[in-house]
Chains A and B, each alone.
Chain A
Amino acid sequence: MITGGAFFILMLVGVPISICLCLASIAFIWDSGNPLLFQSFVPQMFGGVDSYGLISIPLFIMIGEVMNGGGITRRIVAMAMAIVGQLKGGLAYVNLVANMFISSILGSATAQVAIMAKVMVPEMERQGYDKTFAAGLTAYAGMLGPIIPPSIMFVIYSVMAQVPVSDMLMAGLVPGILLTVLFCTVIAIMDVWQNYPRGERMDWAQRLRVVLDAIPTLIIPVVIVGSILTGLANATEAAAVGTLAAILIGRFWTRQLSFRDLPAMMVRSGIYAAVVLFLVAAAAIFSWVLVYGRVPQAVAAWVQTVAEDPVTFMLLVNVILLVIGTAIDGAPGLIMTVPILLPIATEVYGIDPIHFGVVAVINLTLGFLSPPVGLCFFVASAVTGAKVGRMFIVTLPFFFAACLLLLLLSIFPSLSLLLAN
């Protein structure tokens, strides 16, 4: 108990979460009166990242770096404009659709918000949208990044849950598209009283030219998914093949990437990957001491007194994760909760680990958009200057839409399992 309290205080004063997890583990070992466990600390930490599935993480981050430097974003946005730009509320839809396409290349929400807010918000403001709404919408659209494959969070989850990475990645596709549709519906409803501006008209020749110019960039997701489906590569190798495709497209099609930029991109991706992977290593230690101390068993005993059936359990999980997600969102939230909740889900309630993973990941992604710590809002605010507090209020309908998606996913496992296997 004291360990737990100290852990939260450390976290609140700004000690990195990974270090908090390690220190909590050390305190736990100390407390257990079994100092022999200290001898296993180093090999367990190493073992936590000694896993083939994690290799795709640095590579997916590398794709983002290349895309950023290769002029790929601008083409995808232009294509979305050609498709839905002329509607009433056109740019709002463009924002969502472009984000959906870009999600099929990028694996992280914050990276996506940083890229898209720079492009979309000034454009929307110019056409007469409220800047705060534009920034908030972009932040929500960033949620699609870790849901539509590829996704760093799904990779982390699949390694923790020991399910095939490719199944986990594919499982996100239907929920991702569903979320896009729900968000579009919210815009259509909000348009009734907000009266959004109509987008600029484009003639068919223009549209065709823009789409043709953008289509090669969509080779990247096709290569990622296609190399898996044809058996050329597994999910991990697909990340490398996708990176290669992104480099070649950036260099020879958009011609905005120079091979001289690559070393710096490699270093940056390496550091960003280490931020995630080191957290995974810390989590391995933490979950090991929890299991060793039989904590999941104790939590399971309590949960069983509260939730009788799988659906009630999933709803309970959603409430718990939404609360945790206010302060600790994304991968860290996943890493702290999965070791405790997943064994209960699969062993006590017979829930498919893929189904559980989809719900947990989407819920903690929504944590990026809940106060007080909402990373996507922070990024959108840093890029555009819009205020975080007001951003949360004007975009509340999107929050409810995301909650609706979580409810649907919790009740109907088939939405998550449709494409997995």
Chain B
Amino acid sequence: RAQEARDFRLGIITPNGHPWNLAAAKVGERLKAETNGRLSLTLFPSGQLGNEAAMLQQMQSGALDLGWIMTAELGSRVPSIAAINAPWIVDSTAKVAKLVRDPLALSLLDVLPRETGTMGLAYGITTMRVVFSARPIEGLEDLKGMKLRINTTPAYRDFYGLLGATPTPIPTPAVFDAMSNGQVDGLEADLDLSWNQRFDKVSKTMLRMNAIFMPCVALVSGRVWKTLDPADQELLTRLTREALSAQIDETVVNEPKLVESFSAAGIPIKDVKVADADAVIAQYDAIWQPKAPALADLRKLGATL
């Protein structure tokens, strides 16, 4: 069985050119090279096979082999995973890079086979998320009363709710328009997406909250996993971790360049310090600690990084 040839299908929601897609393509190349073409990988970008919920369903049935799914989707199904989406576990992208490679963070994925029928191999990351605001703002207090377009995962809804913003769901392709014509007063996103979409062109301030980030998890269908030879399981795990580890390092290196690009484009950038946010953290943890028991340990770990 070790010699069985197969072509894995990998589904991902982000479009071609996104750092995650590049990393996925690298996994495919290495897989081919190291098995002399016995194993290969076809990438289905931009949600070609359906949205993340649909891809999870296909992985559960075994129709889709691999899927790189964001913790927003996983966390709205499995609250304990959402621990990683809590605010101010760490306060910089460099620390995110250390956090997601720590065994503690990886142990969050242990419940995945039972709760979702998939195996989690590794995290990929984006930069810490920023808020773009249609009017000039100075800090967190100014988010009060703001109609803010957010990623609709429960962790974020609670976080922005505690900051006093009114979370507003807007479908992703319509965000730029919603911002430019005033349907929302602000939006939150990572730096990569924001630069691609040029959110600075419809904003007056970029607020670096240094609070939250949205990783993806490289998943393998549980059903498919069981059919793989242990050597192939090991190979797939190693190559995925290597490619995403490189992606994580690149994200840290690229962040200052992206910030510089925004700065050069002329948008004022404000930074938030953790000290501004103690009250919010306490309120947030009161809600989420019972649902996501690993949260306290993650905070302890984050403080040491």
Do the beta carbons of A40 and B57 come within 8 Å of each other? yes
Of the listed stretches B178-186, B212-220, B282-290, chain A binds: B178-186
Do the beta carbons of B176 and A164 come within 8 Å of each other? yes
Do the beta carbons of B48 and A291 come within 8 Å of each other? yes
> Is B293 an interface position by the 8 A CB rule?
no
> Is A228 an interface position by the 8 A CB rule?
yes
Contacts A36-B61, A37-B63, A291-B44: A47 and B174 contacting too (C-beta < 8 A)? no
Do the beta carbons of A166 and B182 come within 8 Å of each other? no
Do the beta carbons of B57 and A43 come within 8 Å of each other? yes
CA distance A263 to B46 in the complex (A): 40
Do the beta carbons of B63 and A40 come within 8 Å of each other? yes
Contacts A39-B61, A47-B51, A347-B16: A52 and B171 contacting too (C-beta < 8 A)? yes
Do the beta carbons of A43 and B54 come within 8 Å of each other? yes
Contacts A37-B63, A39-B61, A291-B44: A44 and B50 contacting too (C-beta < 8 A)? yes
> Is A209 an interface position by the 8 A CB rule?
no
Chain B residues with Cβ under 8 A from A162's Cβ?
Answer: 46-47, 173
Q: How would residues 172 to 212 of chain A score, 1 for a CB under 8 Å from any chain B CB and 0 otherwise?
A: 00000000000000000000000000000000000000000
Q: CB within 8 Å of A: which of B42-68?
A: 42, 44, 46-51, 53-54, 57-58, 61-63
Do the beta carbons of B54 and A234 come within 8 Å of each other? no
CA distance A43 to B57 in the complex (A): 8
CA distance A166 to B170 in the complex (A): 14
From B57, B62, B181, name the one whose CB has the most chain A CB atoms within 10 angstroms. Answer: B181
Chain B residues with Cβ under 8 A from A229's Cβ?
Answer: 181
CA distance A51 to B47 in the complex (A): 13
CB closest chain-A residue, reference B182: A231
CA distance A36 to B49 in the complex (A): 15
> Is B177 an interface position by the 8 A CB rule?
yes
Chain B residues with Cβ under 8 A from A292's Cβ?
Answer: 9, 49, 63
CA distance A232 to B57 in the complex (A): 37
A234 partner, pick from B51, B63, B177, beta carbons under 8 A: B177
Do the beta carbons of A47 and B173 come within 8 Å of each other? no
CB closest chain-B residue, reference A230: B181
> Is A349 an interface position by the 8 A CB rule?
no
> Is A34 an interface position by the 8 A CB rule?
yes
Chain A residues with Cβ under 8 A from B170's Cβ?
Answer: 234
> Is A294 an interface position by the 8 A CB rule?
yes
Do the beta carbons of A164 and B177 come within 8 Å of each other? yes
CA distance A40 to B42 in the complex (A): 20
Q: How would residues 43 to 64 of chain A score, 1 for a CB under 8 Å from any chain B CB and 0 otherwise?
A: 1100100011100000000000
Do the beta carbons of A40 and B58 come within 8 Å of each other? yes
> Is A167 an interface position by the 8 A CB rule?
yes
Q: How far is the CB of A65 from chain B (nearest CB, A)?
A: 27
Q: How would residues 19 to 55 of chain A score, 1 for a CB under 8 Å from any chain B CB and 0 otherwise?
A: 0000000000000001011011001100100011100
Q: How far is the CB of A165 from chain B (nearest CB, A)?
A: 7
> Is A253 an interface position by the 8 A CB rule?
no
Q: CB within 8 Å of A: which of B1-16?
A: 9, 16
Chain A residues with Cβ under 8 A from B173's Cβ?
Answer: 53, 158, 162-164
CA distance A44 to B47 in the complex (A): 12
Would you give 27 A-B contacts (Cβ < 8 Å), ordered by A? A36-B61, A36-B62, A39-B61, A39-B63, A40-B54, A40-B57, A40-B63, A43-B57, A47-B51, A51-B171, A162-B47, A164-B173, A164-B174, A164-B176, A164-B177, A166-B177, A228-B181, A229-B181, A231-B181, A231-B182, A231-B183, A234-B174, A234-B178, A234-B183, A288-B50, A291-B48, A292-B9
Nearest 6 A-B pairs (CB), nearest first? A231-B182, A231-B181, A39-B61, A36-B63, A52-B171, A36-B61
Which of B's residues lie within 8 Å of A, judged by CB? Answer: 9, 16, 42, 44, 46-51, 53-54, 57-58, 61-63, 170-171, 173-174, 176-178, 181-183
Given contacts A43-B54, A234-B183, A292-B63, 5 further A-B contacts (CB under 8 A): A40-B54, A231-B182, A234-B170, A291-B44, A347-B16
